[in-house]
Structure 1
Amino acid sequence: MSKRIITVDDSPSVRKMVEFSLKSKGYVMGSAGDGVEALELLRQEPFDAIILDVNMPRMNGLEFLENIKNDENLAAIPVIMLTTEGQDEDRDKAMALGATAYIVKPFKPTQLLSLLEEIL
């Protein structure tokens, strides 16, 4: 069975690029433009991993991460941060909140694919 991945990013172009790269390798994709939309989707459908931006409207990535890690039904889903926030402080905060990995944009799709294969 194909693994299901949700991309949460307010940039439609980033979501499309990630979706294109992962669909070509057999992943089933979902997407959301912010944390609020993503939480709604995650409560309706099962996903095997989350690819998450930090800077988004309504609910940013760190708030979203904190929400899912405090939800017993969602806490075990691995989260890969994919963001422009490259400072050690940003990375440390995300990892402390429960992120599985942290990739700084710009990124290579092969880097993301390798990480997903390792995690899943």
Structure 2
Amino acid sequence: MNARVTGAVLLSTFFVAAVGSGSYAAGGNVAQGKVLYTNLCLRCHGVDGKGDAYMKFNPPVADLSAPAVQSKLDGALMKAIHDGRKDSAMGAWKFVLSDEEIRDVTTYVRVLGSHTNRKLP
């Protein structure tokens, strides 16, 4: 087998394994991400991540379940958590969260987008 075919087979196998195992983006821990989200993010982004929490900002906080957020690469989401967002209420969490914890939160954010009609874990 040539390298191109081997690479495609390995990538397909990895994808099937990840989807089949219930793994989510970034390889983080969903349960730990949910704990962190609940303690740190919920007051602004809301229970379902829709940005409808009791704290209001201008501009409004991101709807984390929306396709506009969910279509972003994991790295972009992790960077937004790490560095914050310019001209918004989203501050940098790099001083509070480790890289692993940021990965866990990102993993949980993917759950918010994938289970819009089902109860979250």
Shared fold (TM-score greater than 0.5)? no
TM-score w.r.t. length of structure 1:
0.27
Higher relative CO (Cα under 8 Å, sequence separation at least 6) belongs to 2
Structure 1 or 2: larger strand share? Answer: 1
Structure 1 or 2: larger helix share? Answer: 2
